[in-house]
Amino acid sequence: MKLTRQTYKPERPSLNMAAMIDVVFLLLIFFMCTTSFTPPESELLAQLPRIEAGQGGREDFEPVRIYLSVAESNPAVLIQCDGLGCDDFSHLREMLTARKAIADVRVIIGGDPTVPFEYMVQAMDVCYDAGLERVAFSANE
């Protein structure tokens, strides 16, 4: 008599999707009930200080415009600061330091397309040396 062995094949586990969906909905309801919504900022009460004219309000000054160009006859760069000619970058530094003493103004540096970029960077360095930090370049001056 031959004995045969029974082989046991376990079932493949499966996920019960109905129970998982129930848990997800319970979590969703829990988070919806416990969430506190903040009111929009436009509805918050705030008392802002009122400043009358001339009582320390910020005065807006026109930006300082620096324009660099190259003369055809002279290879040196020509510097203009607010329409006034400057002899060199040290004179430009003096003018910008005087403007900084009045107020912290913006500076816009522009120039001809023929001006080497090293002069533009040198003008920016002069602005930083004078204490002016709001410096920008302009393509259309």
Cα 141 from Cα 139, distance rounded (Å): 6
State in words which class domain 64-137 has.
alpha beta
**Helix, coil or strand: residue 124:** helix
- pLDDT value of residue 24: 95
- pLDDT value of residue 25: 96
In this predicted structure, the answer to whether residue 54 has a pLDDT above a threshold of 70 is no
Mean residue pLDDT across the chain:
81
Domain segments of the chain as ranges = 64-137
**Helix, coil or strand: residue 62:** coil
The first and second tokens of residue 54, run together, are 């001339």
- pLDDT value of residue 57: 47
In this predicted structure, the answer to whether residue 45 has a pLDDT above a threshold of 70 is no
In this predicted structure, the answer to whether residue 78 has a pLDDT above a threshold of 90 is no
